[in-house]
Amino acid sequence: MKILTFTTLYPNHIQPRHGIFVEQRLRHLLQQQPVTAKVVAPVPWFPFKSERFGAYSDYARIAVQEQRHGIEVYHPRYLVIPKIGMTVSPLLLAMACLPFLKKLIADGYDFDVLDAHYFYPDGVAAAWLAKKLGKPLVITARGTDIHLIPQYKLPRKMILWGASKANRVVSVCDALRDEMIRLGVSPEKIITLRNGVDLQMFCLKDKSVIRRELGLNKPTLLSVGHLIELKGHHLVIEALLQLPDFECLIVGSGEESPSLRRQAEAAGLSKRVRFLGTLTQQQLAEIYNAADALVLASSREGWANVLLEAMACGTPVVATAIWGTPEVVRSPEAGVLVNARSADGIAQGVKALFANYPDRQATRRYAEKFSWDETVAGVYDALTKSLVN
């Protein structure tokens, strides 16, 4: 089977962790099933590469074509219009990519099925492209595309239209599936196939050696993700005021980096908060092993990969009980759920975890239940069935 993965959420040489969960699923699918694939991962058009333009310049510096882990990845450009962009993005995305997909087919890659990720604008654009090209379509819902964007009337209508045109709809957790049904997506179309974890990449290592190399001397919390409000790094920093014996590592980059650094300094926590920036998967596996707990203080998550990555390294978690997270953290070996998304709630969650701290091997064994095998078998089945109806 030839598939074309279509999504704006895919890693590239400039943004190596952007949409890493989509790449991971595709890689495991290719390893385990009789599938070949190419990826079309469009990026917004921007004319200037100078770093003084901040994150926008990243788009300009992304190569038009690259190869990642043996997979051909294309990055066609599409126009993004400020302010009104949300409502016209699906159309602009689809119109920009249609000539590219036609050329891909003409050049010999006549794919069997379109594998789209993230419902808006990606899934809506993919539905239009699939109709134009006469291809079956599978759309995977990921998180904010279902529990945030449908708050807007026109995008909600377009999401429902896209779902109606899809042969199959995949949800990464039951919470998202339930929300899609509530919005009006046909239950018969939706299957839940949660993300897995790479158990070879994320594994137990010598904790004491890594901690010594990093100069860690206190119980260590870890907060991983884009440095934006919804990830809640600011709450983790604030929680340290109630946890005087702990230090914290923060991994990621983003618009809130300056304010988070100022927050730590103003609170007198500069010596207990260390910002590590963006790390590779290999580097992140080392940090997971060094930490004593991963703290995820997000306000929104579909299925947070960082939770299973940490557990696979023997590190339990403290996480806000939102959307798919309670489906990941389901036993004491996994960690503790926090109902109140606040600094106080996080501090209490950390104290509860350390009052009954699980064995590292037990946490690892829990993560081993979430290999990619079952998920990719389900993905292959969904893609195959899309070919016949």
CATH number at residue 142: 3.40.50.2000
Domain interval for residue 262: 207-369
* Dihedral sign computed on CA atoms, order 166, 171, 177, 182: negative
The predicted pLDDT at position 148 comes to: 86
**26 within 8 A of 68, measured Cβ to Cβ:** no
Residue 326 lies in a domain: yes
- Write out the DSSP string of 59-86: HHHS-SEEEETTEEEE--EE---TTTHH
For the chain, report the end-to-end CA distance as a whole number of angstroms.
Answer: 16
Does residue 277 sit in the same domain as residue 321? yes
Residue 388 to residues 58, 193, 243, Cα–Cα distance (Å): 40, 20, 57
Domain count, the chain: 2
Residues 190, 241: one domain? no
Per-residue pLDDT tens over the stretch 51-93: 777 777 889 999 999 999 999 999 999 998 876 667 899 999 9
Q: Is residue 202 part of a domain?
A: no
Q: Evaluate whether residue 141 is within a structural domain.
A: yes
Note the pLDDT of residue 260.
Answer: 97
Predicted TM-score (pTM) of the model is 0.86
Secondary structure class of 35 (helix, strand, coil): coil
Scan for tokens 């440095």, then name that residue: 227
Residue at 341 is within a domain: yes
Cβ-contact 97, 129 below 8 angstroms:
yes
Token pair, residue 352, equals 């509860």
At residue 300, the pLDDT reads 80
> In this structure, how many other beta carbons lie within 10 angstroms of the beta carbon of residue 266?
9
93 within domain boundaries: yes
Residue at 201 is within a domain: no
pLDDT at residue 17 in the model: 82
Segments of the chain scoring below 50 in pLDDT: none
Whether residue 297 is found in the same domain as residue 356: yes
pLDDT value at position 323? 81
How far apart (Å, rounded) are the C-alpha atoms in residues 69 and 73?
A: 10
Asked if residue 148 belongs to a domain, the reply is yes
